[in-house]
Every structure is written in structure tokens, then in C-alpha cells.
Structure 1
């Protein structure tokens, strides 16, 4: 299937925002939730599901179900190899720098590993223990492995049932489903296996975040079937969604505090904004933002093509390797933060940013040369 340059450009932009968020610089305070109550991670998961839906829905007709399953398993295994390399790097180089160098960010990142190394070493390869920063790839792997199930259920029973079931799984997550399943696992394994604490499972609850992936698959199916335009809301509703997205943005930046104090609502109802569970407020914010992006995508694509969109598209086309490279560099950058946790000075920050983005661009260029 021919690549969609606008999707590659959007993925490249989201990769840059995630990189800025993960690096220990002062820019992370501005890049983490630049769109409101949502982060680049929501957009990246949805876009990845969308591309998977576009590619593999059509592949079932062209190559058959078995080919689709084998390709998705191969893709998931490729990601898994990168995840194992990152774990090996973190558990050796990162742990040595954190422990012997007295680097608090790395020590906090590896707190479970330092407390229960034996449990961490068997649970991490099974994707049960997911250290911070190394938790989005396991989510991606799980969703890729589940994609054949979602696609075949949609072909047999229609997308309505699939979207309903996915939504019910998300509701289960909001009701503490992951904690319930973990308690059952810890009870079944008993004393033979050390109990895993809930934070060790990672920052992304797969039971909740699968909803974004499934809606991405559905959107991708609509796109390749030529039915996406018919499913989009009318222009008036899309403009209303864009206005609502602006309200969310203003509210997040406390411009609406005189009317509705954000901090008070987040203290009273934290689950509404919970990123781990993809809380209802975050989900609603993402929905109106996604509709708004669809409305502005043609103009946005033209703007990006004139203002560095080629570089963003280059990064987006090599998103897996670029993402893995930025994680290696972010972990090393954590080792620069001293024991007193002083912010990096301006020169060091500049070197960290220049090195990280330089390496990411080199990886993307190398990947492009390999394609040709």
C-alpha cells in the first residue's frame, strides 16, 4: 500500500513531542501535554492502529488471513527484540550508572529492579514488569498481537460489536480491572512467585488503551474502504469539535479557572483525567482533537510541507527505530542529572537536545537508504 505522507508527518511530529517530554530538560514541562489533557502518546497509539487497519484489512483480501497473522506476529517480534535490547541496556548500563553513580532519576526508574532483581528479571521479558519509559513498546506489542482478533471479529460480526466490546473492556479498566487481574495472578502463583505490585505493570493500562487502537483500526478500515468521508461528522459538528478542543486547551492552561478551577476538579475526581486508565476527560479531549485534526489535515499537510514537513515525514517513516533510539539516549541523559537533582545547565541541555535529534535523524536517514 502506498504510504500516506500526512500520516508519516503527524507521526514524526508526535515522535518529537514524546522525545522532548522524555528528555530531562526544561522543555519537557511544555511538551508533555501541549494539546490539553492529552499527550503525544494518545495520538501515536491511535495513528499506529489506524495505519495497521489500513494495511492489514486490505491484506486479508489480497494475501489471506494466515499471511496477515504471520506479518503481525513478525512485526510484534521485531518490536519485542528492540524491547529486550532496551531492557538489557537499562538493567546493565543504566543500573550501573544509577547505582554506582548515585543518579536519582535512574534509581527511581529502576526502583522495583533494585528491590526485587530476581522478580524483575523474569517478569520484564514476559512484559509484566515494565519500567517507566519502557512501557509503551509492550503496549504496542500486545495490540499488534490482538489485531488479528479484532479484524477477524469485525469481518465476521461487523465493527459495531467490536467497538462495543472494546468500550466495555475500557469500562472494566476504569473499574479497576487491571488491579483485579493482578490480584488473581498473585493469588494463583502464591509463594512460588513473588507478588508483583501494580506500579510495576507500567504506565499504560492495556485494558484501557486498547480502545484507542481499536478505534484506529476502525478508522483505517473506513479509509481504505473509501467510507471515511461519509462517517465524518457534518462540517458544523466538526467546527464545534474544534471549538471544544480549544476550550479544553484553555481549560488545561488554567485560562478558565475563574469559571471552573481545573485543580479542584482534578483533586475531587482524579480518575476523570487519569492517563494510566485513559480517563473519560482525556478520552473526550482526544476525540474532539482527532476530529479537529481531520478537519484541518489538508491545510496542516500543506503547511508542514513548507516548514520542515519532509524531516518530520522522514522520522515518521522510520518511527520504530527512531523511537527506540530516542529511548536509549533518554536513559543516558537521565544519568546526567546529579544526586541533588539540579536541572541541567543550558549548555548541557543544548548538547543533549542536539545529540538526541541528530542521532534520530541519522537513524531515519539510514533506514531510508536501506529501503532503496
Structure 2
């Protein structure tokens, strides 16, 4: 009797995570001309929203069943272990990039002050206090704030799962209440030991709303919306009409658009995740699903495999891209930012990221185990043959035992 094969992995989550990772690399290369064409230039939301939503969705798939099928304690321990992994990744990434910018600033004799470019002067001027702040997450400078925000959202998972035992809407009510507290009472986490009024650039108490939206969709707490023509038209209209006001290069020259930006500024604010960003992302996600769902099999094609592979290794790729984007900016500082130079550096960076993702996938498959098993099997087959050959070739003894 043959067992049923495992259902193929849905490629949509990995595809959109991969897109987000590639955009994040382009967005973080300093003075990158290609960054003028990323989604953030044409709407209130950007790749960060895509990353956070997909992270929440993936977290529900990875950890939700442990809470339901095992028990609350094991689910909490798994979340704790994941938090530890992200925390170590954050510390390692910071130390690596801080060392990189310091070394390159010295190597180039101050031609480019990469330390100041990342606003890390205080870290090197006050190393003892800065290290304590780094390890306690009370020092979270810009550029190094996405993973701490992810940690902040993960820490809330056990509370959300506990409330979901009462009712999923109790859990979602808690999520909404925390988000409301940010905007009503100014809840935030300080990002600088000497300036308690400076918040984390990505306030996790606000961004958890988007994280748990993805989480809730994955667990079925919120049903997937039906695709209908009126809603597609409404979502498309909202996205298109927001683009001129969201793009400063357009809005600065049009008085009406400048007025719109001033009116809605707090609603599109990034640190506390303004509601316009939330609505804009949901509209984009709705359009993306409407476009992709009837054609989901296309995402299993060869053309999509590089992007899907990047999405399957999102944490490792993110860590690489954050350092690689600084290196790309340094290369551009040396060779100039002509159109061909920018294209060359961006394409090379994207190729490195995709190649790295394939390498990570290969390591996950542990091909050496298969080779080791083949070696053991071959060795096991050879040993009986060697013993038989040894017996056949052995010289007969001339000594004959005396008869009893």
C-alpha cells in the first residue's frame, strides 16, 4: 500500500517574501537610483509591510500547530527559541556592519565617513554604555530596527494564543487594543539610552497589528476575502489615487497634493504604523491575490524559482542583504553612480543574494547525509566479498590434526 504524497508547498508566501527581500536590498543601498522605482515611492506602504505580514503568516504556520496539537508550554518554548535566534542574528549583524563601516572609514582615510552615515558615532564614543544598550535592546539605531521589531511581535504570540482559547476575537481585540494604546497613550520603546524620547523606528507595539493580521489569516481566524470585481476596482482606485500624494517628487510641486500630505501625515507615519499604511497594504495584498490566485501554478515554474528560493531563506538572506547593501554603496562611492555602474552593482548584488539562497537551500537538504549513506551501503556490500576473497586466497595449512 503506497502512502499519499506530501502536498506541494504553496509558493505564494515564499514568492512574496522573496520579492520583499530583493526590494529591501535595493532600498538599503545608499543613494541607489534604482530605489526611485520601488513600491515605497508610489504608495504609503512598502516592502517592510510585505515582510512583516508574511512573517506573521509564516509564524502561524510554524508555531500555531504546536500550541494546538501539543500544549501551551511547548508552543511558548518554541517561540522563545525563535526569539533567541532572531536576537543572536540581530546582535551578530550589528557587530559585523559596525565593524565593516569602521574599517572602511579608516581604510579610505575618512574619504567617506561610513560611521556617521549610519549614525553610529555614539556607539564608538561610548562603547561600554552602547554595548549594554545593544544587548538589552535599549539601543536600537535606525537601519538595525527590523529584527528587534520582529522580536517584539513574537514575544506577544503566547498572549495572543492564550486569548484565542477564549475566542479568536478576544486575541484580535487584544492586538487592536495594543495598537490603539500606541496612538492614544504614546506607548513605545526607547531606542537610545541617553534620549528616552527617541523610539524604535519600527515600534513593535504598533507593527504587531500587521504581523497578527497575517497570523490570523494563516490560522483561519479571519476568513480570506472573496475576490469580487467591485472590491478589485475599489482597491485599485485607492492604490492609484494615493500614488501622487505619496510621491514627494510629484507632491512638492502641486499645492493640493502637498495639502493632502499634511492632512494625512500622521496616518501614514511609519514608526507607529499609521492606518493609511495598513489600508494601503491591504489594498495591494487584495490586488496581488486577485491577480495570483487564478495563476498560482505559474509560481511553480522555473522563472519564479529564484524568487521563491530567496523567500524560503528569508532570515539568512536578510542578514546578508543588510551587509551587502553597505558594501554595494561603498563600491558605488568608488566607481561612481552612472546608470551602467548602478545597474551593474544592483544586478551583481541581486545575483549574490539569489546564489546565497540556493546555497542555503542546498545545505538544508544535507546532501552529505545521502553520500554518507551510500558510502555505508557500499562498504557493507564490500565487506562480505572481501571476507570471501580472503578465505579463498588464504594458504592451506600443512599441519593435520591427529586423529582422536
In the other structure, the counterpart of 1:169 is: 178
In the other structure, the counterpart of 1:353 is: 346
Cα 1:251/1:265, change in 2 over 3 Å: closer
**Gaps (5+ residues) in structure 2?**
1-6, 366-404
Residue 30 of structure 1, aligned match among 19, 37, 46: 37
Q: CA–CA distance in 2 between the matches of 1:293 and 1:158?
A: 30
Q: CA deviation at 1:321?
A: 0.5
Q: CA–CA distance in 2 between the matches of 1:124 and 1:117?
A: 10
Q: CA–CA distance in 1 between the matches of 2:251 and 2:166?
A: 44
Q: CA deviation at 1:166?
A: 1.7
Q: CA–CA distance in 1 between the matches of 2:154 and 2:213?
A: 14
Q: Deviations over 1:266-311 (max 9, x none)?
A: 2345212211111122122122222222322314635555582111
Residue 160 of structure 2, aligned match among 135, 150, 158: 150
**Does the residue aligned with 2:148 lie in a helix, a strand or coil?**
helix
Q: CA–CA distance in 2 between the matches of 1:148 and 1:266?
A: 38
2:280 maps to 1:285: yes
Q: TM (normalized to structure 1)?
A: 0.83
Q: TM (normalized to structure 2)?
A: 0.77
Residue 26 of structure 2, aligned match among 20, 44, 57: 20
Q: CA deviation at 1:253?
A: 4.7
Superposed, which structure 2 residues align to 1:182-201 within 5 Å?
A: 182=190, 195-199=194-198, 201=199
Q: CA deviation at 1:257?
A: 9.5
In the other structure, the counterpart of 1:10 is: 16
**Does the residue aligned with 1:261 lie in a helix, a strand or coil?**
helix
Residue correspondences, number: 354
In the other structure, the counterpart of 1:237 is: 231
In the other structure, the counterpart of 1:85 is: 92
**Does the residue aligned with 1:128 lie in a helix, a strand or coil?**
coil
Query: Which runs of at least 4 in structure 1 moved beyond 4 Å after TM superposition?
Result: 231-235, 253-260, 302-307
Q: Deviations over 1:56-104 (max 9, x none)?
A: 2223233332332222222222222221111111332222324653424
Contact map agreement 1:120 1:129 (CA 8 A) in 2 = yes
Residue 320 of structure 1, aligned match among 302, 315, 321: 315
Q: CA–CA distance in 1 between the matches of 2:276 and 2:143?
A: 23
Contact map agreement 1:239 1:292 (CA 8 A) in 2 = no
Contact map agreement 2:102 2:114 (CA 8 A) in 1 = no
Contact map agreement 2:142 2:201 (CA 8 A) in 1 = yes
Contact map agreement 2:137 2:148 (CA 8 A) in 1 = yes
2:205 maps to 1:207: yes
Q: CA–CA distance in 1 between the matches of 2:293 and 2:255?
A: 34
Q: CA–CA distance in 2 between the matches of 1:367 and 1:220?
A: 25
Q: Deviations over 1:192-230 (max 9, x none)?
A: xx523544x4321111111101111111111xx8x734x
**Gaps (5+ residues) in structure 1?**
187-193
Query: What RMSD in Å do the two structures reach over aligned CA positions?
Result: 3.1
Q: CA–CA distance in 2 between the matches of 1:175 and 1:343?
A: 47
Report which stretch shifted further, 211-220 or 97-106: 97-106
Q: CA–CA distance in 2 between the matches of 1:153 and 1:205?
A: 22
